[in-house]
Structure 1
Amino acid sequence: TPVNHTFGISGGKQFKVGADNNPLSFFIVGSHGTNYSYTGELIRNTTSDGTIYQDQQGDKYSQNINQLVLGNINFGINKAHNLAYNFMMVHANNQYVGQYSGKHTESHQDSNDYTGRAIRQQTNDNLLFTHQLISSWKLSNKMKLNAGASYNRIKGLEPDRRENYLSKQDDGTYILTGSNRQKRFFSELKENDINTKVNLQYKLNDEFDNTNSALEIGYNGRFVDDKFEAVEYNFDALSGTFPIDNLQLDDLYNQANYESGKYTMSVGELNTYNVKKNVHSAYAEATYQLTSPLTANVGLRVDNVDMTVNHRVQHVEPGRESIKKTYFLPSLNLKYDLNDKNAIRMGLSKTYTLPQSKEISPYQYVNIGFASQGNPNLKPSDNYNADLKWDYYLSPSELFTVTGFFKHIVNPIGRVDQGNSAGLLSYSNISAFATVAGIEVELRKNLINRVNTATSKVNRVSLGLNASYIYTDLEVDIVNTPRR
């Protein structure tokens, strides 16, 4: 029986360097964990009129492996400047085998009484490397410069995903299903993500000597390059009937049977897409204490977005689409201190949401319960946000908060059934606008809070609670489906 296990190691040290005893410190953390799980699953799908075309019950056995390495080197210079380097490696390997029995017809194509067995074996292997260089420079008592850059590299593999379908016969035996139902699939995603930032902070004088009053100007840049490719291998269905218990597919689909001509293999076209995203952001913001209880923060950010997708995938003509737009994004935040324990906060802002790479590329991805396809004609969403928050400080470490929020979304993005014969889910701007509103309540309360006078250590047991109610309103208008 497999056993879940996790272990980790960490360490660090600080040194004094030079005549000024500048601090040089480092630490490193590493961990590894493996978890096994079993899931009993129900998979059901219907058409828009309620006709059930998939109704399956299955067993899924999973293994998840997670590995982490995190390191930091930090150097302080003359108590005024600071230079830091951060490194992070995250590796996640998730794999499962699932077997599903029951009704599984195509959405609008197969006979209504088709039943059988689906076997799916899948591995997702993702690796992330992150390098960060962060610096802070004190130019004067009032002026500070912050600058940094990061490089992130992601490699995502789905190696040798296998899908096999068997059809149940009247006598209870099974045959391998034809029509491209015996597949193996390989895909690779590579992402290079470069980020830069620089900002200049200048402390402002106010009559209350608030150290938070300041003016800040800055620039952020992000440059992303996604490259994806995938290929699918289809195998003929071997003739004959097979008992479903203890079925060993490797005894059927192997090199010997292939060389003897018992089945043939066809290789699909190579599917590729490349998404380049360049975002240049310039911003300015000011924080100022207007009165003794009232502090304001006002800002403006200008983003220039250039996003291009080049795609060559099956079922769609090769193409190139672009999103080029400049956004003006104002924000206003106010804080009013009623007394030492109560504060009211209000925020107003405009933001936007760009489509993800998988949402804007017309590549089809097939899962056990659905198939989805990106849409190169997607438009970004504009978001108008407002929130009002009450903070009640029970103690320095305890808090009760009530927040009301509102969001108006223009051109919201969603994944919906397009109502076509293939039963595809596709990403679309599903409505002209959407409204989201709600309330959130949060509590942080200490149940036990004891101070050891001998060691000055605090022994604390805390309770955290978070609850929210969200209301969403939009009218979905999709081709081939009723407006709702």
Structure 2
Amino acid sequence: MGRFQLISVLVAVSSTALAQEGSGLRGRLTDAKTGEPLLVCPVSVIAGGNITVDTDLEGNYELALPPGKYDVRFWCDQYEGVDVKNVQVAQGFMTRDIALKPVEGAFVEEVVVIGTVDTKSESGLLLQRKMANTVQDSIGSEQISRSPDSNAGDAVKRVTSATVVGRNVFLRGLGGRYAATVVNGVSLPSTDPDGHQAPLDLFPNALLSTLTVQKTYSAEMGGAFAGGVLGIETNSYPATFQTQVKLSLGANSESTFHSRRSYAGGSLDALGFDDGSRGLPESVPEDRPLTTRDPQAEQVSESFSNVWSSRKSAGLPNGSLNVSVGNTHQWSGGRAFGYLASATFSRSAAATNADVQTFRIDDQDLIPKDIYSSEFGATNTNLGVLLNAGYQLDALNDVSMLALFSRSTEDSAQVLQGFSDTDGADFDATRLKFSERMLSFNQLRGTHRFGADSSVVLRWQGNVSVTQAEEPDTRDLMYLEDEGVRRFRQAANSGERFFSHLQDTSGGASATVSLPVGPAEFKVGGSAQLSKRSFDARRFAFMFVGEDPALLALPAEELFGAENIGPSVLAEERTFVTDRYDGNQALYAGFVNAELPLMERLRATAGVRLEVFSQRLESGSPFAQGQVPEATRRTTVNPLPALNLVYAVTDKANLRAGYSFTVARPQFREIAPFLYYDAIRRRSVSGNPDLVSSRIHNADLRWEWFPTENEVFSVGGFYKRFLDPIEQVVVSSIQGDVGYRNADRADALGLELEGRASLGRVSEALRSLRVGANLSLISSRVKLGSQQQISTSESRPLQGQSPYVANVNVGYLQESWGTEVTLLYNVFGRRISEVGFNRLPDTYERSFHRVDLTLTQRLSEDLRLKLTGTNLLNQSAVFQQLGTDVFRYRPGLTATAQVEWTLR
């Protein structure tokens, strides 16, 4: 044993002996930016004594001291030291955790950033939350791995006040335009022609590092803020070489090996690719609309695929495969290079059998109108690829590059059977659909430090993204039963083919300079983000032009067969004028933000952002009849102030308050002065060029306590006042057509509670158990005022807003066995899914109780088994009007087994 080791042992022994006497100071030393423990760093008494100890491999230290008053210095190489004066030690040990700020530009700090930063961990995220200037909640890949969640949409609902409706996230009961999604700080467009958000199921969990919900606004963020901003951070490179392979196989109680609806598609459908058989036939004229009088009408009609009917087939098991490899190489001179390449592919089957009713109202009673059953079968695929690489030029400069590609498809068949009040007959309808959504996101980022002490920091980024949505050859068919004979119904949405393509290309850049001015830190920055969107659709209807009505009783494949094309059936163009549009959007912004220490424990972050936003929309399809609408142009200028206060009640507790004034802007189609057809919901939608942006007052208050690095307790509340909120209102009582109006005002008030703790606090025997829970209580009210139109309610809750959302998780960890078990529970309160009109009541989605279970077992150092079960209660999703079911289906119970192999 060397002299140095001997001295260390003697110091440790003497410290232990004094510790047994029962007084002193203990705690943990961490990096203030990353939350990583600082090991082998000195903690010294500089007044009142003369003792020094080093932190251990977990960053923990313990100073055994007799009662008295001391000055203590916390220091580590390449970090700013901290002197804590007048520490009063009484009988017993007091705890003092310290987070040291890295010295800007220091070599060691840079190596940590490129190699070993781990904000995926629960402890790292909690430290980040504690040090943040704004109210935020996060979930990292460590927590996600304990759940059965497969993508960002599944995972985010575990965050306080977050729910998912369809593919979109609702934050604090607010969705659509009021809940933004950003990836690595950049806002992404939606793949829905009429949507506001990038669908979360485009992001498989294998590509995710953290999901952070920013709940208070700061001037560094984009000004389109209301319910909050969901920030998606992608995986970064590991500190050392690592290769990982994950393979999973699963089954669903409703779809796997059960009969479900499908149809004869293309040869590559199993992989989620269309082989071209669904493409618009080359014979379709590209310079004019197709009519039955066109000399090519017969040839074109025969060129469409003659598949109209569904069939039944057994659903295959669900499966996924993920492969990733990464490493960090370090060289002399402060240079380092890190990379991560990851690819994931998943395939799953779904089957939904539902009972559906629609109603009309007589006085106050609901009278059944249409009663039918729905059989729906789908195969979903998801392909994700990520490449993340970073190069550290030297201790003061580094750049990184990210390339992300995600593609998802849904291949589905649906059959409706029942009674139609409109037609006064029984009917059966079929829809065959293949939809594809794609996102490509590329970003280049850099950080550079200047000045004598490297305290001036420049951060910049540039990005290009392309979003596409394809719907090739969606087929709609309907038959009515007439006097016991099943006949083809020649009407809208029957015998129709629909082809659409959406592309949104966006690019931009931003830069921020941080510089200290005395005790304050200022940030000044600017950004520009430009996007171009194009949407193009064509519709064709197969028209009966023959003289023998008996042909209408033939099955679809015979009716539209080659022998009847020409003399009896021809295709005709049914494209709308508004089925093609081009839009351009530009957002220019500048901001100044300052972090000011007002008192020893009080700091303020204040700033203002100025945004200039412009939109232009042009519409008009050359394949449709009608007058081309005029282009729509608008420009708005918005100053957006923000103030956040953080008071450190203790070293482990914060009191936060925030106020901001933000904006919510209309989308392209919402301001267009014409009618267009919503192909997804099969209704007409009218734009409104008189719409103005909504302005929102946001106020927050939160108390949070972090007793240990993995525990938190918090209580918070928020209030939001919306001026001129944009609401979707019903404008036609026949088809339920909708438009957009500025309501008078809206209010939202909420309470948020959260707790995460180890049960070792109760008993040492329960130390392996952890419990976490969060609860959100939210109340909102929209007052439509003069904009009520024919909507049933003048005042109602926000559409999609749940009055309460709760999550509970119980985890058991036995490290010596390599066993971890997590039980998760999620529930949301009933919420409006469809706004009522013409005296019909609002349609509510009933509460859904979801229980999931995950078991992870380490089989060897490199091999891990994960078993999951979702929706263990096998709950049904139910939608009601006045307590009467209008739509009910069972999503089923899903069980999955995953094997994970890691080579380090």
TM-score by length of 1: 0.87
What's 2:496 paired with?
Answer: 183
1:57 to partner: Cα distance: 1.8
Q: What is the distance in 2 between the residues matched to 1:14 and 1:63?
A: 39
What's 1:469 paired with?
Answer: 777
SS at match of 1:394: coil
Which protein has the larger Cα radius of gyration, Structure 1 or Structure 2? 2
CA contact (8 A) 1:430 1:478 kept: no
CA contact (8 A) 1:435 1:473 kept: yes
Q: What is the distance in 2 between the residues matched to 1:102 and 1:316?
A: 39
CA contact (8 A) 2:390 2:399 kept: yes
CA contact (8 A) 1:174 1:241 kept: no
1:371 to partner: Cα distance: 1.8
1:203 to partner: Cα distance: 2.2
What's 1:452 paired with?
Answer: none
Alignment of 1:236-247 (within 5 A): 236=543, 239-240=549-550
Q: Pick closer, same or farther for the CA change 1:460–1:230 going to 2, 3 Å.
A: farther
Aligned mate of 1:333, from 638, 644, 667 = 644
SS at match of 2:557: helix
1:461 to partner: Cα distance: 6.6
SS at match of 1:284: strand
CA contact (8 A) 1:370 1:424 kept: no
Q: Pick closer, same or farther for the CA change 1:445–1:64 going to 2, 3 Å.
A: farther
SS at match of 1:319: coil
What's 2:80 paired with?
Answer: none
What's 2:685 paired with?
Answer: 373
1:257 to partner: Cα distance: 2.8
SS at match of 2:565: helix
SS at match of 1:250: helix
Q: What is the distance in 2 between the residues matched to 1:102 and 1:158?
A: 27
CA contact (8 A) 2:552 2:559 kept: no
1:348 paired to 2:656: no
AA of the residue aligned to 2:640: L
Q: Structure 1: any 5+ residue segments left out of the alignment?
A: 207-212, 450-458
Q: Pick closer, same or farther for the CA change 1:470–1:324 going to 2, 3 Å.
A: same
AA of the residue aligned to 1:303: E
SS at match of 1:147: strand
Q: Structure 2: any 5+ residue segments left out of the alignment?
A: 1-256, 258-315, 762-766, 795-904
Aligned mate of 2:556, from 249, 254, 257 = 249
1:406 paired to 2:690: no
Q: What is the distance in 2 between the residues matched to 1:162 and 1:417?
A: 27
Aligned mate of 1:99, from 412, 415, 430 = 415
Alignment of 1:212-223 (within 5 A): 213-223=520-530
1:481 to partner: Cα distance: 4.4
Q: What is the distance in 2 between the residues matched to 1:42 and 1:311?
A: 39
What's 1:73 paired with?
Answer: 389
What's 2:404 paired with?
Answer: 88
What's 1:64 paired with?
Answer: 380
1:322 to partner: Cα distance: 2.0
1:264 paired to 2:573: no
What's 1:121 paired with?
Answer: 432
1:303 to partner: Cα distance: 0.2
1:338 to partner: Cα distance: 1.3
1:440 paired to 2:752: yes
Q: What is the distance in 2 between the residues matched to 1:168 and 1:153?
A: 47
Q: How many residues align?
A: 456
1:323 paired to 2:634: yes
What's 1:167 paired with?
Answer: 480
Which one scores higher on RCO, CA 8 angstroms, separation ≥ 6?
Answer: 2
1:158-179 Cα shifts (integer Å, max 9, x gaps): 11111111112242x3211112
SS at match of 1:20: helix
Q: Pick closer, same or farther for the CA change 1:433–1:47 going to 2, 3 Å.
A: farther
SS at match of 1:363: strand
Q: What is the distance in 1 between the residues matched to 2:611 and 2:722?
A: 18
Q: What is the distance in 1 between the residues matched to 2:627 and 2:419?
A: 30
1:169-215 Cα shifts (integer Å, max 9, x gaps): 242x3211112322110000010011210011012433xxxxxx410
Q: Pick closer, same or farther for the CA change 1:482–1:73 going to 2, 3 Å.
A: closer
What's 1:479 paired with?
Answer: 789
Q: Pick closer, same or farther for the CA change 1:415–1:102 going to 2, 3 Å.
A: farther
AA of the residue aligned to 1:56: Y
Q: Pick closer, same or farther for the CA change 1:132–1:374 going to 2, 3 Å.
A: farther
Q: Pick closer, same or farther for the CA change 1:39–1:194 going to 2, 3 Å.
A: same
1:276 to partner: Cα distance: 0.8
What's 2:811 paired with?
Answer: none
What's 1:16 paired with?
Answer: 330
Alignment of 1:245-324 (within 5 A): 249-259=556-566, 261-269=567-575, 271-312=579-620, 317-324=628-635
Q: What is the distance in 1 between the residues matched to 2:361 and 2:586?
A: 39
Q: Pick closer, same or farther for the CA change 1:255–1:334 going to 2, 3 Å.
A: farther
1:344 to partner: Cα distance: 1.1
Q: Pick closer, same or farther for the CA change 1:43–1:204 going to 2, 3 Å.
A: farther
Moved more, 297-306 or 335-344: 335-344
Moved more, 355-364 or 156-165: 355-364
1:92-140 Cα shifts (integer Å, max 9, x gaps): 11121111122345xxxx45x3431121112210111111000011012
**Percent identity between the aligned chains?**
19
1:412 to partner: Cα distance: 1.6
SS at match of 2:732: coil
Aligned mate of 1:139, from 428, 437, 450 = 450
CA contact (8 A) 1:58 1:98 kept: yes
Q: Pick closer, same or farther for the CA change 1:32–1:448 going to 2, 3 Å.
A: farther
Q: What is the distance in 1 between the residues matched to 2:594 and 2:475?
A: 56
Moved more, 28-37 or 355-364: 355-364
AA of the residue aligned to 1:226: R
1:361-411 Cα shifts (integer Å, max 9, x gaps): 5421134x6524251423322111111111121321111222211111122
What's 2:351 paired with?
Answer: 38
AA of the residue aligned to 2:507: I
What's 2:129 paired with?
Answer: none
Q: What is the distance in 2 between the residues matched to 1:189 and 1:71?
A: 26
AA of the residue aligned to 1:179: A
RMSD (Å), alpha carbons: 2.6
Q: What is the distance in 2 between the residues matched to 1:370 and 1:43?
A: 17
Q: Pick closer, same or farther for the CA change 1:48–1:304 going to 2, 3 Å.
A: farther
CA contact (8 A) 1:312 1:319 kept: no
What's 1:197 paired with?
Answer: 510
1:79-102 Cα shifts (integer Å, max 9, x gaps): 111100100000011121111122
CA contact (8 A) 1:163 1:184 kept: yes
1:416 paired to 2:729: yes
1:251 to partner: Cα distance: 3.8
CA contact (8 A) 2:663 2:693 kept: yes
AA of the residue aligned to 1:65: T
Q: Pick closer, same or farther for the CA change 1:268–1:27 going to 2, 3 Å.
A: same
SS at match of 1:274: strand
AA of the residue aligned to 1:268: R
CA contact (8 A) 1:370 1:425 kept: no
What's 2:741 paired with?
Answer: 429
Q: Pick closer, same or farther for the CA change 1:102–1:358 going to 2, 3 Å.
A: farther
1:312 to partner: Cα distance: 2.0
Q: What is the distance in 2 between the residues matched to 1:126 and 1:164?
A: 24
Alignment of 1:383-402 (within 5 A): 383-402=696-715
CA contact (8 A) 1:167 1:176 kept: yes
What's 1:456 paired with?
Answer: none
SS at match of 1:479: coil
1:482 to partner: Cα distance: 5.6
